[in-house]
Structure 1
């Protein structure tokens, strides 16, 4: 997976970032070496400490670059200017888009997944800078969709809202990491026609709205999805 050295005409910091990403993704932070990264970048080993302080500084810069790239492509929507139902759909679409987005080489998604599975000191910054704004907007929107609770039951909202928000995140994440499983459980035709971004966004939005007490999941799905549910379609599982 290690890429070819970056052209010598590119700024050394950019060459180091371009070289470090695939190495960190393939080997993990602990097993990746500064020497290997410097060799790929075609710079002196001392350049890492000069430009980034140390290996962790370089690693943080790589994570930040990935985060900022995804944020530019799929910025966190501002909530409160549309209906809560519309806000929820936009938030879920953004979350799904970020998770399903494919980089050209594949190492970006691999590195982000590795960081979530085996956190480093960069993990906290990644959560607060990348996930927290979207998570907080999701919590705010879900809370506005839930029916009013009396004062004796209001305490439940403090637990219920985060659980529902994380449930949405979990559904979106599954469609990123569960693709190999889906290929064995679901027919290729069904995956092709009903597992794209729009279909998944509609399904997760409908399920969440139904969980908030806003109609049933079937009613929500009929409103969100352009094709009536009673149209003939392939619902067979993979054999």
Structure 2
């Protein structure tokens, strides 16, 4: 093969990616050991260094693979939503757009990988690398612009600048909320358990209502400095 890789190499790489994704989702990125990953993949520990070089590079490869799959599906869902609205002579509502954005993180059949993707995104926020920045630019920025455009159609009185700010606030709120699911969840503790992010349907409903209300909020008003009175 031109790149020196054999079909056997490609199969081992794919096995490692799938095993790592499964264990990262089950145990978290930090707690999943290379020994566990290689055992699940059915390869030896040295395979990680051979195919990826390190666990950090494997993490980045899983992030890229997951981001591409999830965001391609999410972009198609947004396109279908907007096309359906146009056929009715309408535009997609803010709530519908937010629901599409949330879907990978909270849908029962997508939830595990969606939560893992949110972990990757938070990790990138705290400790970005050139590779994760490239993944964001390639797989998240085009999707973000599509959502901002759809939100602009739903909120024609909102400036583009404000839409960018509010999209960023929406994304951050969602990432923080969907990863707060441990037994020591802060909101569950504060509320005595009546607000529990483990109830994903309730979390989705609250997030949609909260984000939609924020999107529709008034634009900030620039404060004017009081004019100093001239002494006479």
Fold similarity call, TM over 0.5: yes
Deviation by residue 1:73-103 (Cα, 9 ceiling, x = unmatched): 64451275324452x3333112222334532
What is residue 118 of structure 1 aligned with on the other side?
A: 127
In the superposition, relative to structure 1, how do residues 69 and 140 fare at CA in structure 2: closer, same or farther (>3 Å)?
A: closer
What is residue 146 of structure 2 aligned with on the other side?
A: 137
The aligned length equals: 188
Q: Distance in 2 between matches of 1:124 and 1:176?
A: 22
What is residue 17 of structure 2 aligned with on the other side?
A: 17
What is residue 45 of structure 1 aligned with on the other side?
A: 46
Q: Secondary structure at the match of 2:112?
A: coil
Q: How far is 1:64 from its partner?
A: 2.1
* Structure 2: runs of 5 or more not aligned: 1-9, 220-232
**Matching of residue 26 in structure 1 with residue 30 in structure 2:** yes
- TM-score w.r.t. the length of structure 2 is 0.59
* Structure 1: runs of 5 or more not aligned: 1-9, 149-156, 213-239
Q: How far is 1:47 from its partner?
A: 6.8
Q: Distance in 2 between matches of 1:117 and 1:67?
A: 18
Q: Within 5 Å, which residues of 2 pair with 1:1-239?
A: 11-21=11-21, 22=23, 25-26=29-30, 41=41, 42-43=43-44, 45=46, 48-49=49-50, 51-52=51-52, 54-55=53-54, 58-71=58-71, 74-76=74-76, 77-78=78-79, 80-81=82-83, 82=85, 83-86=90-93, 88-100=94-106, 102-103=111-112, 109-144=118-153, 145-147=155-157, 157-179=159-181, 180-191=185-196, 195-211=202-218
Q: How far is 1:133 from its partner?
A: 2.8
- TM-score w.r.t. the length of structure 1 is 0.58
